Each structure stands twice: as structure tokens, then as C-alpha cells.
Amino acid sequence: MKGLIVMIQHWDVGILLFNEVELLDFAGPFEVFSITAYPDGIQKPFTVKTVAQTTDLISARNGLKVKPDFDFSNSPHFDILIIPGGYGAEEIEIHNETLIKWIENSAQDCQIIASVCTGAFLLAEAGLLNGKRATTHWMDISKLESKYKEIKVQQGVKFVDEKAVITSSGISAGINMSFYLLNRLVGKEIAITTAERMEYNIDIQNM
């Protein structure tokens, strides 16, 4: 049948939440992945859910309240896991052994684990960036470099791809990284169509 998509690939995307998480760090990737569709406009490559240590209301940066879909005890398998940043990541959750262990264990089961902004500190604390290139918000580059000397910290880039581990720089860069993943996973045309729908400018040639 003409126009029929023969092979439909699908990924389950999980986005970690915690108190004082930076809003756009998680909402940006959520928007990109959740509105992406195959050319038929019906079938979608990604199902996006949120997960936190508990399903209690999360108070994001500046007070926005969010209800997670799952907690650590009942979360499903995620193919892609997004770790956002913010004050809650680098100052609070970095000391949360339960959360760090969950990230470490989850990374073994997912295809891609990706951080936004200072979410890189949570990946670093879990040992997932040792010996790898990585980036974070420009204001925290030196802190990441001095605290985790095993990491090859990169400056002046929107994101760094280490195949199964991807890090992105500050806040809105999580959107750039998400479009990069669209290009990598479902192709240029779908990435461009999604960006046009969001009225977001992407440099597809440099992805």
C-alpha cells in the first residue's frame, strides 16, 4: 500500500524529576519528543513519561508543581532517560544516594542516557562520565572540571555525544540535544518537521 510505513520504531522516554529541577531542562525535551510523529501524522516514535523518587508533587524551580507518572519502585523500562539539572541537581540531589544509585542502575538498561545543564553532575556522581567527553552550563564548567577530573570537559558546545551517554550545556540546549537525537534516531526530515511545528530554529547540517 502506497505511503505505508513498514518499519515503525518506538522508544520509551523517561524524564527524571526532583524538587528544584530547572523547568525548561525537562519541559523542553518533553515537548520535542512528545509532539514528534511519523509522516502519517498518527504514529509516534516516542512515548514520554516522568519519573521521580516518589510520586509526590514535585516543586520545580520557581514553584511550578508537577506530578510524576512513576516512582523508582514502579517505573517501566526506558529506552532513553533524560536527566535534567538546576539547583536541585547540583546542590541537593547530588547528595541523594538513592537517586544516584537509581541513575547508575537505569543507565545499564537504557539505550541512551542524556543530561541537560547541571544534570551532568548527577551523571558524573554516578560514574557514568568517567573517561568521557562531557559538557554542562557555562557557569558550571570549571566546577565540573575541578570536581571530576576523570571527565574530558568540553566548552563552547551545545551537546556532546558519547553514543550511549549524551550531555548538553545550559537549559535551552536540552532542546538542541533533543533535536539532535531526533535526527540520529528517526532522521532529518522528521526532525525538521518537528522543529517547524515548534517554530524552533535548528542547524540540521551540523547535527
The CATH number linked to 103 is 3.40.50.880
Dump pLDDT digits (tens) for 151-189: 999 999 999 999 999 999 999 999 999 999 999 999 999
Backbone phi, psi, residue 149, to 5°: -70, -10
Residue 124 confidence (pLDDT): 98
Residue 1 has pLDDT above 60, yes or no: no
Dump pLDDT digits (tens) for 136-150: 999 999 999 999 999
Tell whether 2 is covered by a domain.
no
Instruction: Using pLDDT thresholds of 50, 70 and 90, give the confidence band for residue 7.
Output: low
Instruction: Using pLDDT thresholds of 50, 70 and 90, give the confidence band for residue 206.
Output: low
Instruction: Collapse the DSSP code of 19 into the 3-class scheme (helix H, G, I; strand E, B; otherwise coil) and give the result.
Output: coil
Tell whether 49 is covered by a domain.
yes
AA identity, residue 92: I
Dump pLDDT digits (tens) for 38-83: 998 889 999 999 999 999 999 999 999 999 999 999 999 999 999 9
Tell whether 85 is covered by a domain.
yes
Residue 42: strand pairing partners:
none
| Closest to 43 in 3D by CA, of 100, 72, 15, 3 | 3
Tell whether 6 is covered by a domain.
no
Tell whether 5 is covered by a domain.
no
Contact 162, 133 (CB under 8 A): yes
Strand 152-153 vs strand 159-162: parallel, antiparallel, or unpaired?
Answer: unpaired
Tell whether 88 is covered by a domain.
yes
In total, how many domains does the chain have?
A: 1
Domain residues for the domain of 43 are 11-201
How far is 204 from 75, CA to CA, in rounded Å? 33
Interior angle at CA 79, CA 78 and CA 81, nearest 5: 65
Contact 144, 121 (CB under 8 A): yes
Grid cell of 103 as nine digits: 541513575
Residue 8 confidence (pLDDT): 83
Dump pLDDT digits (tens) for 89-133: 999 999 999 999 999 999 999 999 999 999 999 999 999 999 999
AA identity, residue 34: S
Strand 133-134 vs strand 70-71: parallel, antiparallel, or unpaired?
Answer: unpaired
Residue 205 has pLDDT above 70, yes or no: no
How far is 113 from 58, CA to CA, in rounded Å? 22
Instruction: Using pLDDT thresholds of 50, 70 and 90, give the confidence band for residue 207.
Output: low
Tell whether 176 is covered by a domain.
yes
Residue 3 confidence (pLDDT): 47
Tell whether 3 is covered by a domain.
no
Grid cell of 155 as nine digits: 566548552
Residue 6 has pLDDT above 70, yes or no: no
A 10 A CB-CB count for 144 gives 21
